[in-house]
Amino acid sequence: MKIKNPRTGQYYYEIFPPSAKELKVKTGLMREAQITWVKSGIEFRIDALQAWKEVVGEFKDELIDALCMDTGRKWETILEVDLLASFIDKWSNISRNFFSKTDRKTSSIPFLEIEQEYEPYSLVGVISPCNFPLFLSLIDTIPALLAGCAIIVKPSEITPRFIEVLQKTINQVPDLLGILNYIEGGEETGEELGKLTDIICFTGSTATGRKVYQTACDNFIPVFLELGGKDAVVVTETADIEHATSAILWGSVTNAGQSCSSIERIYVHRNIFHQFVSRLVAKANQLNLAFPSMDSGQIGPIISEKRVAIINEQLEDAFKKGAILKAGSRKCEELDGGYYCRPTILTNVTHEMKIMTDETFGPILPVMTYTNVDEAVKFANATQYGLSGAVFAGKEEEAMTIARQMKCGAVSINDVALTAVIHEGKINAFKMSGIGGTRMEASAFEKFLKQKAYLINGQKTKDPWWFG
């Protein structure tokens, strides 16, 4: 399977997905290794992950290079590599705390006691996307490892170059050998994983997510899906426009808009509309494409070639229906074979346009006005997605009134996409944005553990009533 470079459009990498038979052998060995892994206890597992963290640190430059080749962008790469260490530390603490509890108690019937135990799933399958190839491959993997599972990770076939480097770091930690494996492959390999694992975690598009749900259903295993979004922001007339425009621009164009919780729709109170748009345009025009070099600007290429077509189609549809271009360009630009999209601000948009309803996954900022809170809420909820959202207002209560009515799992108040900054709070994806519990907080840990209870009759001579 040949892989293109997003900066050149040239094929210059090749992956060799394992055959179904190879995968079966590999996962069989992983299941065996997992028996020791879980028996070794939580401190052993924390030590192994801490050791891995050190090794990743040593290979940091090589890892960044590979990820830059995968994605064509740099500062977001450094950000996601830097996240790894604190992410491992955070889950080390949560898991130590989780396993330190001894769960034995008396039940509501005095002579019956309950002892709680947790048994990790033997083998977890993780299928991760191309937009943050490293971090999104780890978001479920780290807690699952600490829970005591073995994990097989299949990153997107669009961004596979980092796999070899990362697997090299894993191989340097003997205690992780056979416990954590990254493999190359596309959709077929993902389907194969569904047959061989005990639980599957997927991050990616809603369309693919539905297929993964089907794979889980066919194999009768639990599934956790975090899928697309069409995050809205509402800006009230009391909002600090300077702050709001900076934050929203950041939330929309970071990683060239290729984040599930990217801001994709902006609803501004009509009384501040012109002032808001004028500041947003001024700021957007300060940003540059990361071309010709990755350091030339903030906006890297569109990683997936298929995405370029979708963005262009949505823009074309919008312009055809009357959208006005205030900044950016009418379509993605091809530069030296790579495709780039400037921060693009649109006004005169309506909910008849795909750009306002379908996931864009590009740095497009369509701005619409609203006249009252009810309308703002109605607009914000006018989507099949329900990942997250944001509200900017002069007073927190004013923002919360709107936020409480938004049908999504997380709302940032006077900020954007805070779920990407603090991995805290219990958060569900609403509507078509996902299935399954939160990925944040200690409670996310439990999805990798089967809950087992011992119900102990301490008064064993008590007989059933009919012999009583």
Nearest to 77 by CA among 171, 8, 6: 6
| List of residues 6+ apart from 294 with CB closer than 8 A | 68, 72, 73, 74, 300
Stretch that binds a second copy, among 58-66, 148-156, 365-373, 448-456 (CB under 8 A): 448-456
Q: Does 20 contact a second copy by CB under 8 A?
A: no
State the nearest-atom distance from the C-beta of 456 to a second copy, in Å: 4
Residue 94 tokens, joined:
């949560």
State the nearest-atom distance from the C-beta of 62 to a second copy, in Å: 25
Stretch that binds a second copy, among 23-31, 45-53, 217-225, 363-371 (CB under 8 A): 217-225
The residue assigned the tokens 């999805």 is 447
What are the distances in angstroms from CA 306 to CA 255, 288, 312, 423?
Answer: 17, 23, 10, 30
Contact 272, 376 (CB under 8 A): no
Query: Is the Cβ of residue 10 or residue 106 nearer to a second copy in the bound state?
Result: 106
In 161-262, the DSSP E strands lie at 180-182, 199-203, 223-226, 231-235
Q: Which of residues 398-437 bind a second copy (CB under 8 A)?
A: 400, 403-404, 408-415, 418-419, 421-422, 424-428, 430, 432, 435-437
What backbone torsions phi and psi does residue 69 show, to the nearest 5 degrees? -70, -40
Q: Which of 246, 312, 381, 401 binds a second copy (CB under 8 A)?
A: 246
Nearest to 106 by CA among 115, 118, 94, 98: 115
Q: Does 52 contact a second copy by CB under 8 A?
A: no
Q: Which of 298, 314, 344, 357 binds a second copy (CB under 8 A)?
A: 298
The full 3-state SS of 410-465, as one line of letters, equals EEEECCCCHHHCCCCCCCCCEECCEECCCCCCHHHHHHHEEEEEEEEECCCCCCCH
Nearest to 261 by CA among 286, 290, 230: 230
What span, in angstroms and rounded, lies between the C-alpha atoms of 178 and 192? 18
Strand partners, 269: 370
What span, in angstroms and rounded, lies between the C-alpha atoms of 132 and 173? 24
* Region of 353 on the Ramachandran plot (φ > 0 left; ψ -120 to 50 alpha; else beta): beta
Q: Does 464 contact a second copy by CB under 8 A?
A: yes
Q: Does 461 contact a second copy by CB under 8 A?
A: yes
State the nearest-atom distance from the C-beta of 59 to a second copy, in Å: 26
Of the CA atoms within 13 Å of residue 146, those in its CB half-sphere come to 29
Q: Does 454 contact a second copy by CB under 8 A?
A: yes
Annotated catalytic residue 76: no
Q: Which of 22, 171, 210, 329 binds a second copy (CB under 8 A)?
A: 210
Q: Does 324 contact a second copy by CB under 8 A?
A: no
State the nearest-atom distance from the C-beta of 457 to a second copy, in Å: 4
What span, in angstroms and rounded, lies between the C-alpha atoms of 317 and 320? 5
Query: Is the Cβ of residue 156 or residue 298 nearer to a second copy in the bound state?
Result: 298
Residue 457 tokens, joined:
């009759």
State the nearest-atom distance from the C-beta of 424 to a second copy, in Å: 5
Query: Is the Cβ of residue 216 or residue 353 nearer to a second copy in the bound state?
Result: 216
Q: Does 109 contact a second copy by CB under 8 A?
A: yes
Q: Which of residues 116-175 bind a second copy (CB under 8 A)?
A: 116-117
Q: Which of 19, 36, 97, 107 binds a second copy (CB under 8 A)?
A: 107
Query: Is the Cβ of residue 317 or residue 446 nearer to a second copy in the bound state?
Result: 446
Q: Does 295 contact a second copy by CB under 8 A?
A: no
Exactly one of 226, 264, 359, 398 is catalytic; name it.
Answer: 226
Exactly one of 149, 260, 341, 408 is catalytic; name it.
Answer: 260
State the nearest-atom distance from the C-beta of 106 to a second copy, in Å: 10
Query: Is the Cβ of residue 21 or residue 460 nearer to a second copy in the bound state?
Result: 460
Annotated catalytic residue 201: no
State the nearest-atom distance from the C-beta of 449 to a second copy, in Å: 8
Q: Does 460 contact a second copy by CB under 8 A?
A: yes
Contact 120, 453 (CB under 8 A): no
* Region of 220 on the Ramachandran plot (φ > 0 left; ψ -120 to 50 alpha; else beta): left
Contact 276, 235 (CB under 8 A): yes
Query: Is the Cβ of residue 272 or residue 323 nearer to a second copy in the bound state?
Result: 272
Which residues form the catalytic set? 226, 260
Which residues are near a second copy by CB under 8 A? 107-109, 112, 114, 116-117, 210, 213-214, 216-217, 220-222, 240, 243, 246-247, 249-250, 283, 287, 298, 392, 396, 400, 403-404, 408-415, 418-419, 421-422, 424-428, 430, 432, 435-438, 440, 450-458, 460-461, 463-464, 466-467
